[in-house]
């Protein structure tokens, strides 16, 4: 009977694990589940996305064809809610479940926002970990001044850029549009 590998997380760890499992087990069923909206992309290039130097597609590591060619099923937009170890299944937030022979957790990390007196952590602090973060932060920082180099210059001078963020946050800023 062929193995069914489930990998949680489509970051570099999960995706490269899938690539190597495929090398040693050509007949295995390989499924990657991720809450991400995109296939693996280069996180170090998210700042370039913020600066609008690249599009999201340009920072993809593997395109859809690669997953197809390697028979790796990529389940995007799926949040894994729990793992039933006894029955060897994972359960998604929509209630659906999938069985595995082997399970790999490659769920990475999330940005840590330290609590600092005087800073409103829900409004003033942005983390930069995903394509959506890059788009939202880019729009908030750059939407008003329209030039990545401007913000760089302001930051070099340690200028206060919060007024730009305030302006955008208080306007009819369409965050949903950026998530498309
Ligand atoms: C802007 C930026 C620049 C960087 N630059 C460098 C660099 O120059 N050099 C360097 O070595 N590293 C760099 N890093 C760090 C590097 O990108 C990370 O170390 C790497 O992404 C970790 O990969 P990972 O696969 O372990 O986890 P991640 O990339 O964090 O992937 C984890 C995946 O798990 C998914 N996930 C988590 N929980 C669930 C759940 N419950 N259900 C479904 N899916 C879930 C997430 O959606 C995500 O897709 C940078 C990171 C960023 C953000």
Q: Which residue has the tokens 């760089």?
A: 152
Sign for the pseudo-dihedral over CA of 58, 175, 44, 13: negative
Range with the largest mean pLDDT of 5-14, 143-152, 160-169: 5-14
Helices and strands (DSSP H and E) totals, the chain: 7, 7
Percentage of the chain exceeding pLDDT 90? 54
Kindly give the number of the ligand 1 atom that is closest to the alpha carbon of 13.
Answer: 25
Residues of the domain holding 134 = 118-169
Are residues 131 and 72 located together in one domain of the fold? no
Let me know if residue 174 belongs to a domain: no
Instruction: Categorize the per-residue pLDDT at 167 as very low, low, confident or very high, splitting at 50, 70 and 90.
Output: very low
Residue 93 clears pLDDT 70, i.e. is over it: yes
Q: Is 34 in the pocket of ligand 1 (CB under 6 A)?
A: yes
108, HSE (Cβ side, Cα atoms, 13 Å): 20
Q: Is 141 in the pocket of ligand 1 (CB under 6 A)?
A: no
Among the candidates 63, 84, 105, a domain finishes at 105
The per-residue pLDDT for 141 is: 65
Are residues 122 and 101 located together in one domain of the fold? no
User: Would you state the structure tokens that stand for residue 11, as one six-digit string?
Assistant: 């970051």
* Average per-residue pLDDT for the chain: 81
Average of pLDDT values for 90-106? 97
Taking only the tens place, the pLDDT of each residue in 106-141 is 999 988 777 777 776 666 677 888 988 877 777 666
Residue closest by Cα to atom 19 of ligand 1: 108
Let me know if residue 177 belongs to a domain: no
Looking at the structure of the chain, the number of domains it has is: 2
Let me know if residue 110 belongs to a domain: no
pTM for the model: 0.82
Q: What is the CATH number of the domain that holds 62?
A: 3.50.50.60
Distance 173 CA to ligand 1 centre (A): 28
Are residues 127 and 54 located together in one domain of the fold? no
């Amino acid at each position: 009977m062929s193995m069914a590998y489930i990998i949680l997380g489509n970051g570099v760890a999960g995706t490269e694990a899938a690539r190597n499992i495929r090398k040693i087990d050509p007949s295995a069923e390989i499924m990657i589940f991720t809450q991400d909206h995109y296939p693996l992309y280069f996180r170090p290039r998210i700042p370039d996305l913020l600066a609008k130097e690249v599009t999201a597609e340009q920072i993809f590591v593997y395109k859809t064809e690669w997953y197809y060619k390697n028979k790796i099923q990529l389940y995007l937009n799926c949040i894994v809610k729990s793992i039933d170890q006894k029955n060897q299944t994972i359960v998604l937030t929509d209630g659906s479940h999938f069985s595995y022979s082997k399970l790999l957790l490659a769920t990475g990390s999330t940005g840590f926002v330290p609590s600092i007196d005087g800073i409103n952590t829900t409004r003033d602090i942005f983390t930069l970990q995903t394509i959506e973060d890059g788009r939202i932060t880019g729009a908030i920082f750059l939407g008003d001044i329209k030039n990545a180099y401007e913000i760089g210059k302001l930051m070099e001078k340690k200028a206060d850029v919060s007024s730009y963020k305030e302006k955008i946050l208080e306007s009819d800023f369409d965050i949903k549009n950026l998530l498309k």
